[in-house]
Amino acid sequence: MKISRRTLLKVAGLATGAALTEGTQAFVEPQNKSKNKKVALQVAHITDVHIRKGDEAPERFTKCLQHIIDNHKPDFFLNGGDSINDASYDSVIREQVIEQWALWDQCIKTIAKYEVFSCLGNHDMWWKAPAKTDAMYGKDYAVKRLKIPNRYYSFKKKNWHFIILDGNNSQISLDEEQFKWLQNELESLPARTPVLLMCHYPILGTTQVLVGGGHSDCKKLKDLFYKHKDKVRICLSGHNHLADHTSYNEVLYCCNGAMSGFWWGKGDAESAGKGYYLETPPGYALLKLYDDGSVENEYIPHSF
Ligand SMILES: [Fe+2]
Ligand SMILES: [Fe+2]
């Protein structure tokens, strides 16, 4: 059966993503909604900085931040977690945690004039503090060092709503309290409010098929996003140090590589190039968020 382009678009408009005939599928991308759309916000997404001394990591990170503000003039920064190299391994002592956060503070001064909205990565928490009552133990300390209001939170900019999640819970998931909060958050937004979500671990996408590390509650989250498909536009993540774009039910899922690439190292035998992890170079993403709710995400490699 031959289907004209006009018919395809008409059917796709009625049931986006629905199978047509003979295995043909038509998908309407969330982009290009209106002809006269305007960029409402330009946002830089950095993730997996893993700052540490050695390999000139602080100098290279600082140079890249300067490059981002000089070249792109973003409205603000999103930081996807694993900000410090690691506080989570059993052998980590207090001085190492203090040193890494001090390096973070020093580097981030480069963008002191910009707002930075961070989420928690698995390497940011010191679980081996001598006691749970220790001021540096666990998530509360990382929240404090990242200067964020809570381990999960939301904010508004222009007509967009931003939701920052904490997937550092059982089997990489949202805990019940956080999931209820997210449900309520999406429910209470006016219809068609464009929403960007950011978490450390990918919710859907290609990278977790290759290396694991995705949300175990991805189906539950996918269902929730489908319920609010007039709002949820894009989910950003990191953790896997790999870059991909996956579009599902008109939501774009982007794992935006890693600022540190191969953890600031040269890469290994499987890497495609210097500093790469597998085929992904070190980099950051630049997002254009439009006033009509459409969004573009570009992963930009860096060679600092
Ligand atoms: Fe990481
Ligand atoms: Fe991670």
φ and ψ of 165, to 5 deg: -110, 160
Based on the number of CB atoms within 10 Å of its own CB, is 96 exposed (0-12), middle (13-18) or buried (19 or more)?
Answer: middle
pLDDT confidence of residue 21: 34
| Ligand 1 mean position, distance from CA 266 (Å) | 16
Residues with CB in 5 Å of ion ligand 1 = 48, 82
- Give the Å distance between the CA of 50 and the centre of ligand 1: 7
Per DSSP, what are the bridge partners of residue 256?
Answer: 243
- Rounded Cα gap, residues 123 and 132, in angstroms: 17
Instruction: Give residue 174's pLDDT.
Output: 98
pLDDT at position 30? 53
CA angle 9, 14, 19 (to 5 degrees): 75
Could you count the other beta carbons within 10 Å of the beta carbon of residue 53?
A: 12
Distance 48 CA to ligand 1 centre (A): 4
From the CA of 230, how far away is ligand 1's center (Å)? Answer: 31
Which domains does the chain show, CATH number per domain?
A: 42-301 (3.60.21.10)
Alpha helix stretches (DSSP H) within the chain = 5-14, 57-72, 94-108, 138-145, 176-188, 207-211, 218-227
Q: How far is the CA of 252 from the centre of ligand 1 (A)?
A: 21
Residues shown for the chain: 304
Cα distance between residue 190 and residue 265, in whole Å: 46
Q: Which two tokens stand for residue 100?
A: 């890494």
Nearest to 233 by CA among 201, 190, 198, 184: 198
Amino acid identity of residue 107, one-letter, is: C
Across the beta sheet with 232-237, the strand order is: 153-157, 160-164, 195-198, 232-237, 251-256, 243-248
- In a 3-state reduction of DSSP, which class is residue 19? strand
- Measured in angstroms, how far is the CA atom of residue 176 from the centroid of ligand 2? 22
CB 251 within 8 A of CB 245: no
Tokens at 110, concatenated: 């480069």
CA 52 to centroid of ligand 2, rounded, Å? 15
Q: Which ligand is nearest to the CA of 241?
A: 1
Ion ligand 2 neighbours (CB, 5 A) are 82, 121-122, 239
| Ligand in nearest proximity to the CA of 47 | 1
Q: What is the pLDDT of residue 92?
A: 97
- Find the 82 Cα to ligand 1 centroid distance in Å: 5
1 CA → ligand 2 middle, Å: 48
User: Which pLDDT score, from 0 to 100, does residue 34 have?
Assistant: 75
32 CA distance to ligand 2 middle (Å): 33
Rounded Cα distance, 293 and 295, in Å: 7
- CA nearest to 229, candidates 189, 262, 258, 201: 189
C-alpha 254/C-alpha 271 separation (Å) is: 21
* Alpha carbon distance 48, 108 (integer Å): 14
H/E stretch holding 283: strand 283-290
- Going from the Cα of 168 to the center of ligand 2, the distance in angstroms, rounded, reads 9
- What separation in Å is there between the alpha carbon of 75 and the centre of ligand 2? 25
Angle value at C-alpha 278, between 260 and 42, nearest 5 degrees: 50
CA of 115: how far to CAs of 100, 143, 268, in Å?
21, 15, 35
Predicted confidence at residue 18, as pLDDT, reads 32
Note the ligand closest to the C-alpha atom of 214.
Answer: 2
Q: Which residues of the chain have pLDDT under 70?
A: 1-33
Q: Return d(Cα 264, Cα 296) in angstroms, integer.
A: 27
Nearest to 65 by CA among 76, 53, 54: 76
CB 260 within 8 A of CB 273: no
How many Å lie between the centroid of ligand 1 and the Cα of residue 122?
Answer: 8
- CA of 49, nearest ligand number: 1
Q: Which pLDDT score, from 0 to 100, does residue 33 have?
A: 63
